[in-house]
Chains A and B, each alone.
Chain A
Amino acid sequence: MRTPNLLTCGAVAVGLALMSAPATAQTHNQSDVTGPNVTSSAIAGVGTVAAEASPAVAAAVATAGTAVTAQLSSGTLSATTPDGATVTIPPAVQGALAGILAGGAAPPEFVAGLAAGGAGSASELVEALATLVSSPATGQFAAAVGHFNALVVGADPAFLASPTPEFLAVHSVLSQLVAAGRGAG
């Protein structure tokens, strides 16, 4: 009975001695930095998650998307100008935007209507709008808003004072989706 205990104690002692001994081979070979990165939150996956809204927010945005689609399909989408006036959007423009949001091709005249202000992000905006309502990808909503804001920043003041119906339609749609998400958040 004593022999196993002694062996066990001996093994433990040797193990502890090994564990506590300086690792002479681990100098000058960069052993501290040749493994996983242990100097940042990346080790825990922190900060690497793309935007995924809470279920309530996602549901609210989806509901707003359905409502927007219905407005576009029926030609009842309206927009508000800076001076508070409400304007209706031509049915052809609404139809084109409905098609884009559903994944259809963007008519050249629609892209031209967005690019009329001189900003260079019109095509990127249209690309980000594709399937935005029907099957949005992670981060796509934020990308669409980002490209639209870039369009606003880069647009000629005269264009903003008298924007095209395409511009107003996209602004109206994105604003409704954002308002829905904000309300649910």
Chain B
Amino acid sequence: MKMRLLCSLVLGAAALPGLAPTTATAQTPDSLRAHYMIDLPPTLEILSTVGRTSPGTSSGSPTGFGANWGDGFVGASYQGRVRFSELNDGAVVAGIGLGNSRDLIGGEVAITSFSTLRSDPFQVVSVSLKLHRAFLDNYGLAVGWESAFFLTSNEGDGGSSLYVAASKVWPQVWWQPFTKITTTVGLGDGRFRSEEEVRVDKETVKPFGSIGVQLWEPMSFIADWTGQDLTLAMSIVPTQRFPLVITPGVTDVTGTAGDGARFIISAGTGFDFARLPRLFP
């Protein structure tokens, strides 16, 4: 009886705050790590496309982020004139996201019609693919295949391009008007080569990259090196009531490609396609 009482006292004392030993002799290294690892719930995860629309962070080059399951998007682009011509041009795109880049890997499938303004629509249609993964600290990594295959016999004049892109969102606090900066660097073939390399059909891989500085919540400034020339653009979200992103800009500004600066603009909107059936019961 005395022995039982003594044991109880010892155990009770060990349970008092500050008196318990911090060693866990019965634990394995894996169980110790499992205890201390902190699982971040999805509501606090690194990246989310839910709820808010953010202005774009690039214009002509891809990024390391992408659409996940549930994300749908449509968009259109316009060039005031194309290179070595006074003729304008346009394209439209629609796509969906697959998988989840935060849990494992995200996928993106986009269908683009490059024929719009000056010829019948859907005369030049391609499918583009992208796999992407989001990492802690707002990093994103993607591999993509632009115009992986064409659904039409006419393949236009853009060809296919393989690329890998890495992006990071840098939350910054040192200058209040800027809310965050997104940088992207990548390597690609196809359209990411120089204009001369494309002309002589030289097989090579060239770097591209972009910087998107979000000035205020609805607006960002973009400097985008597409591999051929520099594009300067603004991306604007006119209202948070509708997820519309408009990105006007000037491309070929340094004169390393084409025949002078040109006006370009794009507009796109994202939506949750999983909710669409509820709109059309």
Using a CB–CB cutoff of 8 Å, the interface residues on chain A facing chain B are: 18-23, 25-54, 57, 61, 78, 81-83, 85-88, 131, 135, 137-143, 145-146, 148-149, 152-153, 155, 157, 160-163, 167-168, 171, 174-175, 178, 181-182, 184-185
Contacts and interface: CB of A to CB of B under 8 A. Distances in A.
Contacts of B18: 87-88
Given A44-B75, A146-B136, A39 B43 contact: no
A7 B190 CA distance: 46
Contacts of A138: 169, 171, 179-180
Which of A26, A27, A146, A181 has the most chain B CB atoms closer than 10 A to its own CB?
Answer: A26
B40 A31 contact: no
A87 B20 contact: yes
B242 to A, nearest CB: 12
A137 B22 CA distance: 34
Which of A29, A43, A78, A168 has the most chain B CB atoms closer than 10 A to its own CB?
Answer: A43
Interface of B: 14-15, 17-18, 20-27, 29, 31-33, 35-49, 51-63, 65-68, 71, 73-79, 82-85, 87, 89, 91-93, 95, 97, 101, 106, 108, 110, 112, 114, 117-120, 124, 126, 128, 130, 132, 136-138, 140, 144, 146-147, 156-159, 161, 169, 171-173, 179-180, 182, 190-191, 195, 198, 212, 228, 235, 237, 243, 245, 247, 249, 251-252, 257-258, 262, 264-270
A152 B37 contact: yes
B79 A35 contact: yes
Contacts of B147: 39
B84 to A, nearest CB: 5
A57 B49 contact: no
A94 to B, nearest CB: 13
B173 A137 contact: yes
28 contacts: A20-B118, A23-B119, A26-B157, A29-B85, A30-B83, A30-B198, A34-B191, A35-B77, A36-B60, A37-B61, A38-B112, A40-B63, A41-B95, A41-B270, A42-B65, A43-B267, A44-B74, A44-B245, A47-B71, A47-B140, A51-B47, A51-B138, A82-B24, A87-B20, A88-B17, A171-B36, A175-B38, A178-B40
A30 B118 contact: no
Given A33-B161, A36-B77, A36-B264, 4 more contacts: A42-B63, A45-B270, A142-B44, A152-B36
A181 B251 CA distance: 44
Nearest to A21: B118
Nearest to B67: A41
